[in-house]
Structure 1
């Protein structure tokens, strides 16, 4: 009887190991696929929230929900749009909601829609009951407020980032300045690569060429003055942003992070399988001893 029980346990354990092995390859495949197809557009960059709060179930909340719904629906059709809800003459001005979204110019329509939906889902969590808020992901911006800011020049710096690594290469600075000069002249989304340095810039979709140039000029000035000799830098202003980096800078950091995630995930799975494999070996030895 004991032998039969051991054999039965052994058979069940072998089947379990086979299932776990299949699960290991499935999880590994899904993990690798998920990381390799990770949409960088969804990476959080910054958020800003007003101190003034609205009351739940207020007229403003109703207008805001309508505005955010329109933003989400529109993102599957265009990369930029702006809205004003509840700003009619019969509606108190403090209840009106104004808002917009903008996707990065190189984003596919489906990725734009996904990014905006993600941003809309986050903005209420990051800025609960705020009368005004903006949330920037890597690939898109969502912004709303109870005052009409649409189409008005805003060069307020919202966020800036300078890399810890720096360069003292004269050629690097020459290329960087050339890249920034080219980006400063952009009227829409622009990407440029000049040897050692790459960069891109973009203004909001409703800006005039003159206002766009003014905004980008301010952004480029911030990159030079604040970040100095940084190998990479970002400057996000109210209506535009600019970025430059040493070739390969962002790719190398991204790849190492993904490899670490893959390595940790696989190490955990292998550890679990190794534990079950040890049980199989022990049961096998017991079966032989019993026979």
Structure 2
């Protein structure tokens, strides 16, 4: 009898030690159905746990796995705190799996929050779905000057939420500290969303978490808000480490030209020919334009008689004025290259054409 009691007490002690491995561990067994131990769903869940902990790709501490089909499909999301290395992350996920297997046996959906990681599995799709329930809150300490503390905390969390939400698809995390109650007190805080959320979804999730601080943990120097899609924590002592920057994507390689040699040559030929044709068309248009320009106004000679050279005949001004009837418009024939052109009579007993220049009056005779 005594031996049985000792065995029972020792078993209870081992269970408590196991459950207390992480003093911050929290869980929720969702009322979303159950499965039998030997069912396909149970087999798929075991395979999922095995794959989650043996996955060679660290992926910055975020895991999204689905195994099975239809009603037997199991979906899981694992998220490690961004300031933790790969070995700490895997150890945390392993411990969380063990805790959930003991706390929520045969549940189709459960979520566990450890200090450094979160694990959520379900028979329903959970990737890309923002969830703020169920939630857990852990608090510690008391604040002397509530207003000053809350004002500094609110500003810090607002800034961190904006930064985390604006991060990319690999990680949505931000951490920092600010002056707290006085020059000797600082507030340290971090916020994190699962990277599958959009910027607005992450902002909404963290806004809900921040709102719960005021509802459940007023005047506390430490608090953790744990939700399926995001979490936050603040303390008056340091608790997070520096985070390595996520490397930027490398420049994309130049497009492959394998198998495209003929296409490249054809493209070059077409471009050259098009350029030459364009130049030729431009030259042709200019030539047509110049051909169609209106020539200078000239005097047609009906009888095509020979024009006497300008220097062969010259007259004084009085003779020209008399011959043109005092430069009458009736005798004006038009405008030539040297000036106005007039028809004159009675000059050398023949009809004449006079071109008047400002400086010289030259008479052209038509025979």
Asked whether the two chains share a fold, i.e. TM above 0.5, the reply is: yes
1:198 aligned counterpart, secondary structure: strand
Residue number among 58, 62, 71 corresponding to 1:80 in the alignment? 62
Q: TM-score, normalised by structure 1?
A: 0.66
Instruction: Give the gaps of 5 or more residues in structure 1.
Output: 1-40, 88-92, 252-291
1:1-291 aligned at under 5 Å gives the runs: 42-51=22-31, 52-74=33-55, 77-78=58-59, 79-87=61-69, 93-185=70-162, 186-187=164-165, 188-195=172-179, 196-247=186-237
**Offset of residue 121 of structure 1:** 2.0
Partners of 1:198 and 1:140 in 2: CA distance: 19
CA-based RMSD: 2.2
Give 5+ residue unaligned stretches, structure 2: 1-20, 166-171, 180-185, 241-367
SS in 2 for 1:102: strand
Offset of residue 143 of structure 1: 1.2
TM-score normalised by L of structure 2: 0.53
Task: State the 4+ residue runs in structure 1 displaced beyond 6 angstroms.
Answer: none
Larger Rg: 2
Equivalent-residue separation in structure 2 for 1:75 and 1:226 (angstroms): 40
Query: Which structure ranks higher in relative contact order (CA pairs < 8 Å, sequence separation ≥ 6)?
Result: 1
Which deviates more, 183-192 or 70-79? 70-79
Per the TM alignment, residue 247 of structure 1 is displaced from its structure 2 partner at its CA by: 3.4
Shift of 1:221: 0.9
Give the Cα–Cα distance (whole angstroms) in 2 for the partners of residues 111 and 43 of structure 1.
16
Q: For residues 133 and 75 of structure 1, do their structure 2 counterparts lie closer, same or farther at Cα, with a shift above 3 Å needed?
A: farther
Q: How many residues align?
A: 206
Which string of whole-angstrom CA distances, capped at 9 and with x for unpartnered residues, describes residues 236-267 of structure 1? 1220011122236x79xxxxxxxxxxxxxxxx
